[in-house]
Amino acid sequence: GQDGGQETSFRWQCVEQPIGKLLFRRFLEGSAEFAAAGALWAEIEAFERCEDAEREAAAKRLRSRFFTPGGAEHCGFLSAAAAAP
């Protein structure tokens, strides 16, 4: 392809590649406009690693912090489907 055989998707560059992930996360965290998105990403990764017994409480914290209007770091850019219970 025109990309010289290199993967150019967001997933590959910013999620699967450690340096790309680090740089993108620093970009998000360094911008007031995108800081909540960076925090949400970090918390979702932590949620994915938590024990099954902790998941319900962790999900409630995520919902109130990021998905609830007026929450500490509400991510208003999320679709209604993403925020649905």
Mean pLDDT of successive 10-residue stretches along the chain, which has 85 residues: 69 94 94 92 94 94 88 83 71
* 35-49 vs 18-29: helix crossing angle, rounded to 10: 130
Question: In the prediction, which pLDDT does 2 show?
Answer: 54
Report pLDDT for 78: 83
Q: What are phi and psi for residue 36, nearest 5 degrees?
A: -65, -35
Contact 75/67 with Cβ under 8 angstroms? Answer: yes
Q: What is the pLDDT of residue 14?
A: 93
Q: What gap in Å lies between CA 30 and CA 14, rounded to an integer?
A: 16
- pLDDT (0 to 100) of residue 35: 93
Q: What is the DSSP letter of 16?
A: I
Is pTM beyond 0.85 here?
no
Query: How many angstroms separate the CA atoms of 33 and 43, rounded?
Result: 18
